Amino acid sequence: MEHGFLRVGVANPEIRVAEPEYNAKAVIAAVLEAQKEGVDVLAFPELCLTGYTCGDLFFQKTLISGAEKALEKILKSTENADMLICVGLPVSHENKLYNVCAVLNKGNILGLVPKTHYPEYGEFNELRYFTRAEKPQVVTLASRLCAMAQAVFKANGEITVGVEICEDLWAPCPPSSDCAALVTVNISASSETVGKAEKRRTLVSSQSLRTCSAYAYADAGRGESTTDLVFSGHGIIAEKGKILAENKPFGNKLLTFADVDIDFLIHERKKNNTVSPNVAERATAEFVLVERDGKIARNVSRLPFVPQEENGARAELILTMQAEGLRKRIEASGAKKLVLGVSGGLDSALALLVCLRALKLSKMPPKSLLALSMPGFGTTEETAQNALILAKESKAEHRCINICESVKKHLNDIGHDLNLRDIAYENAQARMRTLILMDIANAENGLAIGTGDLSEAALGWCTYNGDHMSMYGVNSSVPKTLVKYLVRYEAKRIGGATEKALLGILGTEISPELLPAENGKISQKTEDIIGSFELNDFFLFYAVRCGCTPQKTLLYAAAAFGGEPGEYAASLARFYKRFFASQFKRSCSPDGAKIGFSLSPRGDWRMPSDASVNLWLDECGLKNV
């Protein structure tokens, strides 16, 4: 596909043991179906042209010849199939039998990859039939001279595909660990036993994570002999530890496929110097794939930073990480108090909840938290009450300091018209609050805790040397969508008046409340100014975290939110402009524990503060948006 996607599929045709001609027809039918779906790389099970469970029939020349004829039929029928096809069969060479994967493209055999590790335990005794290929050999198969070796198949200059066969994945050192191709295909015949499916998932996902690659696993299914075993047709496609698609055991789907993001894998490898592909040390066969346009065949969540599980385990882990980071800072600094500004907003609510956990870990009472309300020109009664309830229910010390008169005096001192509600008018309030928090923290031998989140840091939605600054930022690696998730989790867990207050905060428009309210209601709505946090977090994940191009980010957005990619161009342009313009704030950000992805200059992101954004805007014609 275009934009660096590769559609990878695993097939599960129903075969007949020792009937290669029938099996060839089943393979061809699956290839035709895969063609309709635009599959680029397609894997079939191990020894699928004969069946894995042939036993001593493998010694029969009739069966081996039948498999070769079946392969010839497949080659002829797939001459126009623009895909890489991996199919398993037994191959006889110099009086030895080999278990191989034939790698095909447009009617040609690009290579034969032999199995490396043969199981000799339990129900498996493959060395009774097959020989290990100790060195590369030239084999005559289907009237062609073919290289039989551990090879890598390379398409369009940078896409590399490696092959393993079944037990190779279960070995302590799988061939894919050494080769580290961007995509590894495993053709398998793994019998089903209780608990084995979960082990396969773990192996496939972990190997794709370890090698920073995609891994496609095609297991044998219906049609294999059930004399002593049963096969489930388990198919798995994973990308860097994440399972993209699965034909669950006994799911009986003919075809399972997903779009692997090759550009993302390359992006991750560039950042990770421990993944060292040895592709150059292997035989290489090149082929060409035609780029196809179309919709993305993979699940794209609208909330990529938010856990998909519902049992709360991930929420507990994140909150514990935040709290442990703060606990260590309390211990290292010898702080006696935590000083926190509570506004009745989402970020300060989460920060308060984390502070309480950190104090508990530090064996300090809730009174060691000073929750400070600092109402200003735009503070509404609703947010003020929610802040008060949270502070009281948490049993923290609560104080209220109205900053209006102090800010007015300050504005008068610098000759600023109080009726001019510009950026200076707004930022004076944010800086006044930070000044108060810092000074009280000094007076109380405490730490001024920052509330700003990852989304605000990305968009520069914070006042430089105001709420931008703190002595420790507990939310610095938590994007806004994840803040909402965590607050909702804590609301349900705690219950009572705290739950009611937290749900009230979740239902309130996000606002810095720096402009006077209108009829008691919030007048300054953040998302009206900078756009939806849901969409901005989505852009942050794909454009920054994953390194996607603007066009690819728009394609992902359309897959997640619906519509056409161009509908999101203006929003993406706004994100890029704010992101580039705000780097100077991130360059001097306070400490804060990394949760998943960090924009700290000491963490995941380093960037000059005066970089030009035009190249990114130009790529999608966004420059003038």
- CATH code of the domain containing 433: 3.40.50.620
- The mean pLDDT of the chain is 94
In the 3-class helix/strand/coil scheme, how is 603-620 assigned residue by residue?
Answer: CCCCCCCCCCCHHHHHHC
Beta bridge partners of 9: 42, 257
Answer yes or no: is pLDDT of 444 > 90: yes
For the chain, percent of residues with pLDDT exceeding 90: 90
Answer yes or no: is pLDDT of 344 > 70: yes
The pLDDT assigned to 363 comes to 97
Name the residue range of residue 62's domain: 5-287
Residue 301 lies in a domain: no
Q: Are residues 15 and 82 in the same domain?
A: yes
The pLDDT assigned to 119 comes to 94
Tokens matching residue 201: 């998932």
The pLDDT assigned to 180 comes to 78
Residue 452 lies in a domain: yes
Q: Are residues 89 and 230 in the same domain?
A: yes
CA 30, CA 24: separation in Å to the nearest integer? Answer: 10
Question: Quick count: other Cβ atoms within 10 Å of Cβ 494?
Answer: 16
Beta bridge partners of 105: 108
Residue 299 lies in a domain: no
Measured CA to CA in angstroms, residue 583 lies from 464, 491, 535, 537, 600 at distances of 11, 34, 20, 17, 10
Catalytic residue among 86, 101, 166, 548: 166
> Each residue of 486-508: pLDDT tens digit?
999 999 999 999 999 999 999 99
The residue ranges of DSSP E strands in 441-504, in sequence order, are 446-450, 472-473
Domain boundary among 287, 321, 348: 287
Answer yes or no: is pLDDT of 624 > 60: no
Q: Are residues 350 and 242 in the same domain?
A: no
Residue 298 lies in a domain: no
The pLDDT assigned to 275 comes to 76
Mean pLDDT of all residues in 81-95 = 96
Q: Are residues 15 and 61 in the same domain?
A: yes
Residue 410 lies in a domain: yes
Length of the chain as a residue count: 625
The pLDDT assigned to 309 comes to 78
Domain count within the chain: 2
Q: Are residues 464 and 520 in the same domain?
A: yes
97: CATH:
3.60.110.10
Residues 181, 185, 188, 190, CA torsion sign: positive
For the chain, percent of residues with pLDDT exceeding 70: 98
Contact between 395 and 359 under an 8 Å Cβ cutoff? The reply is no
The pLDDT assigned to 262 comes to 95
Looking at per-residue pLDDT, the higher value among 521 and 107 belongs to 107
Domain boundary among 238, 271, 287: 287
Strands 337-341 and 369-373 turn out to be: parallel
Domain boundary among 287, 321, 351: 287
The pLDDT assigned to 623 comes to 58
Answer yes or no: is pLDDT of 620 > 80: no
The pLDDT assigned to 625 comes to 47
| pLDDT band, residue 432 (cuts 50/70/90) | very high
Q: Is 115 a catalytic residue?
A: yes
The pLDDT assigned to 273 comes to 80
Residue 247 lies in a domain: yes
Q: Are residues 564 and 601 in the same domain?
A: yes
CA 177, CA 68: separation in Å to the nearest integer? Answer: 31
> Each residue of 319-331: pLDDT tens digit?
999 999 999 999 9
CA 416, CA 112: separation in Å to the nearest integer? Answer: 78
Catalytic residue among 115, 154, 337, 585: 115
Residue 306 lies in a domain: no
| pLDDT band, residue 519 (cuts 50/70/90) | confident
In the 3-class helix/strand/coil scheme, how is 180-233 assigned residue by residue?
Answer: CCCEEEEEECCCCCCCHHHHHHHHHHHHHHHCCCEEEEEECCCCCCCCCCCCCC
> Each residue of 125-171: pLDDT tens digit?
999 999 999 899 999 999 999 999 999 999 988 899 999 999 999 99
> Each residue of 268-300: pLDDT tens digit?
999 888 776 665 567 788 888 888 777 899 999
> Each residue of 201-227: pLDDT tens digit?
999 999 999 999 999 999 999 999 999
What lies within 8 Å, CB to CB, of 300 at 6+ separation is: 556, 559, 560
Q: Are residues 283 and 319 in the same domain?
A: no
The pLDDT assigned to 10 comes to 98
Q: Are residues 376 and 523 in the same domain?
A: yes
Residue 422 lies in a domain: yes
Mean pLDDT of all residues in 344-372 = 97
The pLDDT assigned to 272 comes to 84
Q: Are residues 56 and 199 in the same domain?
A: yes
Phi and psi (nearest 5°) for 144?
-130, 150
Mean pLDDT of all residues in 38-64 = 97
What lies within 8 Å, CB to CB, of 286 at 6+ separation is: 153, 154, 155
Mean pLDDT of all residues in 231-245 = 97
Beta bridge partners of 261: 5
Answer yes or no: is pLDDT of 50 > 50: yes
Q: Are residues 386 and 515 in the same domain?
A: yes
> Each residue of 539-558: pLDDT tens digit?
999 999 999 999 999 999 99
> Each residue of 451-461: pLDDT tens digit?
999 999 999 99
Q: Are residues 239 and 328 in the same domain?
A: no
Tokens matching residue 137: 């050999």
Q: Are residues 580 and 482 in the same domain?
A: yes
